[in-house]
A and B are shown apart, each in its own frame.
Chain A
């Protein structure tokens, strides 16, 4: 009797899992087939995002952004008249899931393009698959290796780590800082950032006196920072993501390590400032301009896009917009612009069109693609920001 209950329950759990969260989230307006002659055929766009799991701070805003944007676009008639059918898959930041889902989207759903994945590890795992499957991949992950060496169908929207490092070093050079300590998390983002810092420091006359890696799940960083304090550094650079970013700021002040703190562009959400409280004031970091959209001068080319995205996102989802969601926004925007330019939804033509896009105003910056540059951003995409009285502001030296 009990085993029978068990059987029913397990089947029920599995069925519940199947029902409650369909693996593919479809956009609201996309599924009705267009029968009238005037409308063009709908296009399928896939997305592999880490909505849950260790990279959910990336994937969740990216998924929400895409759903919001697709709905807006479909209400306005779609991308050049083609309604968009969005298929979001939650990979949980696991490369093996990303591989399986990529193959699904390419072989079964035959999507025009895949947006995502959210992390570099997943993107590298599916880079070959998308290239061989001749499907456009617009990655929201940061690693330089995604577009270097260039694969024809693979693009990425986040800014380059090396440019972020360059902006940091420029500020240091101006401020006369020559001896620094670098701490990075052991996630892919942290390691990549650490490598760029090592590579570029000599160009700006900066010596990295000490460089340490900590675990991304670390709950307290006073030990590592004590080590930096012992090395008598003039500034600390932290390259990580949440929650370590706020911890560093607090721990530094708690052990009286009173030197400037530089963060990476992973610091892209006002919540991290709130989490750090007073300690976050004075942090200097390069970032996309989304966070200071409201204080940009009115003539700034990005202002309109940024302000609209920020207010739409915040009013719809009741949470602060972050630069991470912006990477997905840019990906879909680029795809739509390419479709418009190519005047078709054939993969090869859209792909060629992406490479020829110039001056696309996105949230991360202004994109200029070419056959050799599948990222399209340079260091001007970054604005150096700081935190004043718990709010983001543009850094004035």
Chain B
């Protein structure tokens, strides 16, 4: 394999990895505030993309995307208020099951609203065949958009959680909800806000990957599975870790693909997930405070 071939594999890995990374970011927000993994996160991506595609028929692309993000954000908030908030004394088990049920319902609703056809947003810059050359290898400019948007979101989130009052309030809720409430933080609204943020970011992510992956009503679940695999590998709650883990996983898959039959590629992610869960559940890029996660 010559240099350009190696670089091409690397770019292929980054392409897939960036999709995983941007999906994973949304999981961390809800986890950071409530300690729950939201299985319905993948659906937010698809709802956002589908809405944007419908809106793009009557509005220019940036307006359509903005509209889609806003609508999905509101949807995320409504979902939290209607389905999550009423659950008192929620065990983790119950909340997991609820979010699974939600993901199914949202998907079926999308099927009946939009039908089963495959759609996609137009490429942000260029056409389906434009390509950028790096060291003799080629990549679509849309991937650079995905990477760029991921970076911007991660930076914005980090600043938000570290330097704004609301962000710090949300982190307080995840550490100890009762204590946060005693400090005067309205923890219930923080939870709603976390869902809204997750939904909005998910919608934006869905829009930016739509030209690359295309969008179909049932793509939410596979995306979610890859997304939270990556989120766990990077360490739950750690957005930068999620991005790093996503790229790592993408490159690992590209490596496996280059050496073995492509059919084994999908097993890589699952095996990595299981290994991480068994040996280092806190993730690759987070300190190991694992006592809360293990039983005896």
**Chain A directly contacts chain B within the complex, with at least one CB pair under 8 Å:** yes
Query: Which chain B residues numbered 246 to 269 have a C-beta less than 8 Å away from chain A?
Result: 253-254, 257-258, 261-263, 265-266
* Complex-state Cα separation, A162 to B135, whole angstroms: 42
Query: Which chain B residues numbered 116 to 134 have a C-beta less than 8 Å away from chain A?
Result: 116-120, 127-131, 133
User: Given A54-B218, A230-B5, A243-B216, A254 and B262 touching (CB < 8 A)?
Assistant: no
Q: B1-24: contact bitstring with A at CB < 8 Å (1 yes, 0 no)?
A: 100010011011101100100000
Residue from A60, A247, A255, A256 in contact with B115 in the complex, judged by beta carbons closer than 8 Å = A60
Note all chain B residues with C-beta closer than 8 A to A186: 263
Note all chain B residues with C-beta closer than 8 A to A249: 128
Query: Which chain B residues numbered 124 to 152 have a C-beta less than 8 Å away from chain A?
Result: 127-131, 133, 137-140
Note all chain A residues with C-beta closer than 8 A to B5: 226, 229-230
Name the distance in Å between A215's Cβ and chain B's nearest Cβ.
5
Name the distance in Å between B142's Cβ and chain A's nearest Cβ.
9
In which size bucket is the chain A interface?
Answer: 35 or more
- Of all chain B residues, which has the CB nearest A255? B138
Query: Does B219 make an interface contact (CB < 8 A)?
Result: yes
Note all chain B residues with C-beta closer than 8 A to A242: 118, 216
Interface centre among B19, B129, B263 (most CB of A within 10 A): B129
In which size bucket is the chain B interface?
Answer: 35 or more
Residue from A56, A220, A277, A319 in contact with B19 in the complex, judged by beta carbons closer than 8 Å = A220
User: Given A213-B262, A254-B129, A254-B139, A219 and B9 touching (CB < 8 A)?
Assistant: no
- A246/B262 in contact, CB under 8 A: no
Note all chain B residues with C-beta closer than 8 A to A253: 128-129, 131
Query: Does A217 make an interface contact (CB < 8 A)?
Result: yes
Note all chain A residues with C-beta closer than 8 A to B19: 219-220
Residue from B138, B209, B214 in contact with A243 in the complex, judged by beta carbons closer than 8 Å = B214
- B115/A222 in contact, CB under 8 A: no
Note all chain A residues with C-beta closer than 8 A to B262: 212-214, 223-224, 227
Note all chain A residues with C-beta closer than 8 A to B129: 250, 253-254, 277-279
Query: Does A271 make an interface contact (CB < 8 A)?
Result: yes
* Complex-state Cα separation, A396 to B118, whole angstroms: 29
Tally of contacts, chain A with chain B, CB under 8 A: 121
Query: Which chain A residues numbered 190 to 227 have a C-beta less than 8 Å away from chain B?
Result: 212-215, 217, 219-220, 222-224, 226-227
Q: A251-281: contact bitstring with B at CB < 8 Å (1 yes, 0 no)?
A: 0011110000000000000011001111100
Query: Does A52 make an interface contact (CB < 8 A)?
Result: yes
Query: Does A395 make an interface contact (CB < 8 A)?
Result: no
Note all chain B residues with C-beta closer than 8 A to A223: 9, 12-13, 16, 253-254, 257-258, 262, 265
- Of all chain B residues, which has the CB nearest A247? B214
Note all chain A residues with C-beta closer than 8 A to B138: 254-256
Query: Does B111 make an interface contact (CB < 8 A)?
Result: yes
Name the distance in Å between A119's Cβ and chain B's nearest Cβ.
14
Note all chain A residues with C-beta closer than 8 A to B209: 219
Query: Does B244 make an interface contact (CB < 8 A)?
Result: no
- A275/B131 in contact, CB under 8 A: no
- Of all chain A residues, which has the CB nearest B86? A2
- A226/B8 in contact, CB under 8 A: yes
Note all chain A residues with C-beta closer than 8 A to B265: 214-215, 223
Query: Does B212 make an interface contact (CB < 8 A)?
Result: yes
Name the distance in Å between A100's Cβ and chain B's nearest Cβ.
21
> Beyond the given A57-B116, A57-B117, A223-B258, could you list 13 further A-B residue pairs with CB under 8 A, ordered by the A residue number?
A215-B265, A219-B16, A219-B213, A219-B222, A220-B15, A222-B12, A229-B5, A230-B1, A230-B5, A250-B129, A254-B129, A275-B120, A277-B129
A-B contact pairs, 15 of them (CB 8 A): A54-B218, A56-B111, A217-B219, A220-B213, A223-B13, A226-B12, A227-B257, A229-B8, A247-B214, A253-B128, A254-B139, A255-B137, A255-B138, A256-B131, A256-B133
B residues with CB within 8 A of A? 1, 5, 8-9, 11-13, 15-16, 19, 111, 115-120, 127-131, 133, 137-140, 209, 212-214, 216, 218-219, 222-223, 253-254, 257-258, 261-263, 265-266
